[in-house]
């Protein structure tokens, strides 16, 4: 099922993404990837959530790492091509666009958590935190696209806040 999600995002990006300007989006794609890879490194032994394929292709998508890498290298670039590639110029439409993406990511996680069992939360993470994370993440992509250094500074503050909310025992750090 997770492969289907990623394939749908890739198909949507191929059909509706702004491929002519891919160089403009490339830094933000890397920003997205680096953020998740950093999370995987820091929380290596103290996960906030894990992915598990439960429907089909379980022998290919065997574990969280394989699934997460597929999402990072296919799903995230597809998201950025769609999110930034079709980002509106009108302020109120920007708010709706960001809200749409927050809702989309949140509802997919809710379905995967409660009905398809493709994701599990750990160590205090919850749907509420996922929604808050999405509310921060999507505007951060737009900020990064326009002012990358400012986005890195804001992201560092956000990471410190999350580490305060979800402290990692030093013995759990890699």
Q: pLDDT of 69-95, one tens digit each?
A: 989 999 999 999 999 999 999 999 999
Structural domain of 84: 2-172
Helical packing angle, 148-165 and 127-146, nearest 10°: 160
Q: How many domains does the chain have?
A: 1
Using left for φ > 0, alpha for ψ between -120 and 50, and beta otherwise, residue 58 falls in alpha
Average pLDDT over residues 29-40: 95
Q: pLDDT for 116-166, tens place per residue?
A: 898 999 999 999 999 999 999 999 999 999 999 999 999 999 999 999 999
Cα 35 to Cα 37: distance, rounded to the nearest angstrom: 6
Cβ atoms within 10 Å of 5's Cβ, excluding its own: 18
């Amino acid at each position: 099922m997770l492969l289907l999600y990623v394939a749908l995002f890739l198909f949507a990006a191929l059909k509706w993404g702004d491929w002519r300007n891919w160089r403009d989006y490339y830094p933000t794609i890397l920003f997205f990837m680096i953020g998740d890879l950093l999370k995987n490194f820091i929380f290596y032994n103290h996960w906030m959530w894990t992915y598990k394929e439960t429907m089909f292709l379980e022998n290919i998508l065997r574990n969280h790492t394989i699934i997460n890498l597929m999402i990072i290298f296919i799903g995230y670039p597809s998201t950025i091509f769609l999110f930034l590639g079709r980002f509106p110029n009108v302020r109120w439409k920007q708010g709706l666009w960001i809200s749409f993406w927050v809702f989309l990511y949140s509802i997919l996680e809710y379905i995967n958590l409660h009905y398809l069992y493709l994701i599990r939360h750990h160590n205090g993470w919850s749907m509420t935190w996922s929604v808050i994370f999405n509310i921060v993440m999507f505007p951060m992509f737009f900020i990064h696209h326009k002012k990358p250094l400012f986005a890195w500074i804001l992201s560092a503050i956000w990471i410190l806040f999350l580490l305060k909310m979800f402290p990692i025992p030093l013995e759990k750090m890699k």
